[in-house]
């Protein structure tokens, strides 16, 4: 468009008062035209929206989802459930969510028992407990005869009192009435609540029970100011032959009563510690000797006491042919000449082993005896090892490494110990371990399949030794030697910076290296210091 002011447009020129008046007159016509065009656009937009709404409403009638058979729609609804947890009583989660979409969807949802056969119950305070109890009863009625998956826990926000605790008996009674349909159950309740329902159940009452997780809610005592008693009647219903997975406190079980627990059928066993400690070595071996089909096991071991008889006289040697993952946590002093834990067990399929806690009082003890206390006898199939044992002798550990021909991941939180003091301490420099793990030009390679190494602490570890180890593990020149993928540890800042500088090429080629630093970082100057 023509403008008499084109010569000063898009410049910093300042028009005179007369020119300002001319500009106002010049813009009157274009502004009116803009208003007219905008009105036409608004009318066209409104008409378009009306047509689009008409088309969308009729297109919805042609949707393939409307013609899905009920059985297919039902399967889709079931697939909408969270795969790793039970659904909560929330309107924005399935199954409540899908039942609120349409009349047809609600009809299908209510006629799909599997949708309502799993639930998570967060027990509230008394003001909301009655409503929750009604919801639980309603869900159970909708679940038909389908096996049940139920998780129950006391809410952290509820204002519980000792007198009000028994009020959940009505809720527990509803769940107990359906015990013959229990399949996967997780209860985290107070001791008083557990005493309510445990004596009422027998193995015959839970013929479908596949997985049971039971723990006392220790936080209840903190919220109410009452001491927590971890003792309660034995879980006698765990003798059911259908049981495959068990997670519970050591004090929830009668470990030596025949038939108290269906040990022989277990595939997954996790015994948890309470404030009183763990399970004695002999009791642990007594339990494990009955778990022939066990694949996963977590056990807290307590140091030997006067009541813990010598193992050799009480437990015969046995094999767990299917156990692939074993986690042991030792309370108190782990080493004892009478507790040669692993001398009684063969674990031919073990892939993952974790040993945490405890300490060794005498580093000059017989290495063979220490080996029987701490590590499985057959290490050839082991793929991942995590060790957190205080003062483990380096000779014992280093001598075992050549046996771990399949090990891919090694994690050590604490340093090994040496027979000869180093700088006044028996803790060794980790370089001895790295020297053995460095790939030589010729000869046998220790841990040929090692891909990840995490060492909790380096005591003044020479940077050149770290670099030599990493570089030897990154070169793919040796047949049958895996390439190191991850290396991490804690060392002093000066060595750490030097290591990262020398391993720049390896990092660029994909090495995941994570060096955590000890000591205090010196302050750094900033021009922003002191600004309020």
CA gap 101, 433 in Å, rounded: 62
For the residues 67-86, what does the mean pLDDT come to?
Answer: 92
Q: Is 526 left (phi over 0), alpha (psi -120 to 50) or beta?
A: beta
Q: What is the pLDDT of residue 451?
A: 95
Q: What is the pTM of this model?
A: 0.78
Residue 331 has pLDDT above 80, yes or no: no
Q: What is the pLDDT of residue 421?
A: 46
**Mean pLDDT value across the chain:** 82
The residues, any chain, with a CB within 8 Å of residue 163's CB and separated by 6 or more, are none
Which residue is listed with tokens 């995490």? 454
Residue 428 has pLDDT above 50, yes or no: no
- DSSP letter, residue 236: G
CA angle centred on 116, ends 92 and 79, rounded to 5°? 70
If one compares 516 and 114, the residue with the highest pLDDT of the two is 114
Residue 423 has pLDDT above 50, yes or no: no
Closest CA to 151 of 129, 173, 141, 136: 136
Closest CA to 465 of 443, 501, 485, 437: 437
Band of residue 253 on the pLDDT scale cut at 50, 70, 90: confident
CA gap 452, 489 in Å, rounded: 11
**Which of 42-51, 185-194, 201-210, 430-439 comes out lowest in average pLDDT?**
185-194
For the residues 100-123, what does the mean pLDDT come to?
Answer: 93
Q: Do 347 and 315 contact (CB within 8 A), yes or no?
A: no
362-397 residue pLDDT tens: 545 566 777 777 789 889 999 999 988 777 777 788
Closest CA to 243 of 196, 201, 285, 286: 201
CA gap 333, 348 in Å, rounded: 27
Q: What is the pLDDT of residue 363?
A: 44
Q: What is the pLDDT of residue 274?
A: 62
Band of residue 449 on the pLDDT scale cut at 50, 70, 90: very high
Q: What is the pLDDT of residue 358?
A: 64
Residue 99 has pLDDT above 50, yes or no: yes
The residues, any chain, with a CB within 8 Å of residue 233's CB and separated by 6 or more, are 195, 198, 199
**Which of 61-65, 180-184, 219-223 comes out lowest in average pLDDT?**
219-223
CA gap 175, 197 in Å, rounded: 10
95 preceded by cis ω (within 30°)?
yes
CA gap 443, 100 in Å, rounded: 69
CA gap 154, 498 in Å, rounded: 52
Q: What is the dihedral of CA 390, 391, 395, 398, to 10 degrees?
A: 30
Residue 325 has pLDDT above 90, yes or no: yes
Q: Do 247 and 261 contact (CB within 8 A), yes or no?
A: no
If one compares 463 and 358, the residue with the highest pLDDT of the two is 463
Q: Do 360 and 389 contact (CB within 8 A), yes or no?
A: yes
The runs of H, that is alpha helices, within 450-490 are 463-474
Q: What is the pLDDT of residue 313?
A: 46
The structure tokens listed for 215 are 């723990």
Q: Looking at mean pLDDT, say which of 39-48, 315-324, 335-344 comes out highest.
A: 39-48
Q: What is the pLDDT of residue 228?
A: 47
Residue 45 CA neighbour count, 13 Å, CB half: 6
Q: How many CB atoms lie within 10 A of CB 475?
A: 12
Q: What is the pLDDT of residue 491?
A: 72
Q: Do 87 and 94 contact (CB within 8 A), yes or no?
A: yes
**CB burial of residue 136 (10 Å; 0-12, 13-18, 19+):** buried
Q: What is the pLDDT of residue 124?
A: 85
CA gap 88, 122 in Å, rounded: 8
If one compares 522 and 205, the residue with the highest pLDDT of the two is 205
**CB burial of residue 175 (10 Å; 0-12, 13-18, 19+):** buried
Band of residue 515 on the pLDDT scale cut at 50, 70, 90: confident
215, β-bridge pairs: 188
256-298 residue pLDDT tens: 777 789 999 999 999 987 655 667 788 888 899 999 999 999 9
CA angle centred on 312, ends 308 and 318, rounded to 5°? 110
Q: What is the pLDDT of residue 69?
A: 92
**Ramachandran angles phi, psi of 212, nearest 5°:** -130, 125
Q: Do 243 and 265 contact (CB within 8 A), yes or no?
A: yes
- CA 314, 317, 322, 324 torsion-angle sign: positive
If one compares 528 and 238, the residue with the highest pLDDT of the two is 238
CA gap 331, 276 in Å, rounded: 10
Residue 80 has pLDDT above 80, yes or no: yes
């Amino acid at each position: 468009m023509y403008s008499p002011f084109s010569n000063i447009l898009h410049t910093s020129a300042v028009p005179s008062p007369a020119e300002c008046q001319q500009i106002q007159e010049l813009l009157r016509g274009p502004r009116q035209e803009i208003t007219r065009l905008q009105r036409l656009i608004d009318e066209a937009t409104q008409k378009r929206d009306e047509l689009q709404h008409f088309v969308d409403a009729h297109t919805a009638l042609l949707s393939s989802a409307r013609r899905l058979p009920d059985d297919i729609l039902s399967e889709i609804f079931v697939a909408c459930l969270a795969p790793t947890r039970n659904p909560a009583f929330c309107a924005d989660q399935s199954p409540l969510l899908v039942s609120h979409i349409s009349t047809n969807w609600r009809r299908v949802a209510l006629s799909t028992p599997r949708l309502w056969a799993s639930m998570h119950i967060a027990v509230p305070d008394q003001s909301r407990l009655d409503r929750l109890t009604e919801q639980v009863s309603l869900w159970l009625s909708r679940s038909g005869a389908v096996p049940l998956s139920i998780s129950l826990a006391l809410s952290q926000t509820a204002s519980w009192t000792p007198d009000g605790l028994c009020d959940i008996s009505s809720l527990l009674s509803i769940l107990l009435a359906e015990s013959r349909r229990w399949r996967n159950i997780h209860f985290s309740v107070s001791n008083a609540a557990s005493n309510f329902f445990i004596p009422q159940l027998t193995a015959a009452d839970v013929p479908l029970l596949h997985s049971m997780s039971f723990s006392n809610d220790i936080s209840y005592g903190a919220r109410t100011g009452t001491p927590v008693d971890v003792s309660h009647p034995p879980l006698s219903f765990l003798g059911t032959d259908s049981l495959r997975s068990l997670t519970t406190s050591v004090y929830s079980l009668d470990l030596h009563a025949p038939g108290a627990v269906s040990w022989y059928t277990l595939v997954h066993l996790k015994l948890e510690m309470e404030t009183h400690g763990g399970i004695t070595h002999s009791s642990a071996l007594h339990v494990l000797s009955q778990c022939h089909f066990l694949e996963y096991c977590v056990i807290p071991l307590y140091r030997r006491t006067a009541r813990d008889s010598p193992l050799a006289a009480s437990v015969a040697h046995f094999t767990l042919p299917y156990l692939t993952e074993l986690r042991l946590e030792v309370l108190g002093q782990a080493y004892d000449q009478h507790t040669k834990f692993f001398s009684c067990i063969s674990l031919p399929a073990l892939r993952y082993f974790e040993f945490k806690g405890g300490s060794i009082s005498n580093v000059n003890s017989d290495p063979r005896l220490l080996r029987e206390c701490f590590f499985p006898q057959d290490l050839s199939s082991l793929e991942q090892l995590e060790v957190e044992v205080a003062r483990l002798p380096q000779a014992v550990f280093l001598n075992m490494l050549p046996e771990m021909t399949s090990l891919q991941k090694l994690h050590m939180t604490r340093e090994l110990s040496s027979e000869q003091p180093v700088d006044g301490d028996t803790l060794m420099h980790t370089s001895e371990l790295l020297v053995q793990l460095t790939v030589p030009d010729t000869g046998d390679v220790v841990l040929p399949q090692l891909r990840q190494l995490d060492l909790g602490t380096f005591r003044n570890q020479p940077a050149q030794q770290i670099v030599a180890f990493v570089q030897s593990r990154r070169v793919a020149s040796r047949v049958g030697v895996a390439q190191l993928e991850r290396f991490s540890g804690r060392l002093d800042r000066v060595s750490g910076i030097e290591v990262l500088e020398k391993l720049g090429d390896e990092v660029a080629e994909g090495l995941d290296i994570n060096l955590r630093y000890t000591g205090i970082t010196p302050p750094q100057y900033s021009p922003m210091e002191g600004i309020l």
